[in-house]
Amino acid sequence: KQEVTQIPAALSVPEGENLVLNCSFTDSAIYNLQWFRQDPGKGLTSLLLIQSSQREQTSGRLNASLDKSSGRSTLYIAASQPGDSATYLCAVGGDQGGKLIFGQGTELSVKP
């Protein structure tokens, strides 16, 4: 049974810092991995999707890496801003069908 864990559960940093969020999964037989952002009272917004054959994806100040063999993914946020404050969720897709298994999320607070 696939389990997804995110560390840390909460993180507070000053504006401008570069930071890394971690995600680990127990079964390396994944189809893809996605990082989502969730703002309070809102739904989830997809940030980056990494196919199982890929090592990383980049979008603006965000970079996500995937190491299937070790069961790990990281989300790197460069030059953090207060607007980046949100909960970040990692989710693993096990097949083409689209079912996602989520971690519990990392709540990020970026202080001005």
Partner 1 sequence: EAGVAQSPRYKIIEKRQSVAFWCNPISGHATLYWYQQILGQGPKLLIQFQNNGVVDDSQLPKDRFSAERLKGVDSTLKIQPAKLEDSAVYLCASSSTGAYGYTFGSGTRLTVV
* Interaction site with partner 1 (CB under 8 A): 4, 6, 31-32, 34, 36, 41-46, 49, 89, 91, 93, 96-105
User: From residue 110, how far is each of 10, 77, 78, 102 by CA, in Å?
Assistant: 11, 11, 12, 23
User: Which residue, 81 or 109, is less far from partner 1 as judged by CB?
Assistant: 109
Residue 37 CB, nearest distance to partner 1 (Å)?
11
Q: What are phi and psi of 68, to 5 degrees?
A: -60, -40
User: Which residue, 75 or 91, is less far from partner 1 as judged by CB?
Assistant: 91
User: From residue 3, how far is each of 13, 30, 43 by CA, in Å?
Assistant: 28, 12, 22
Residue 105 CB, nearest distance to partner 1 (Å)?
6
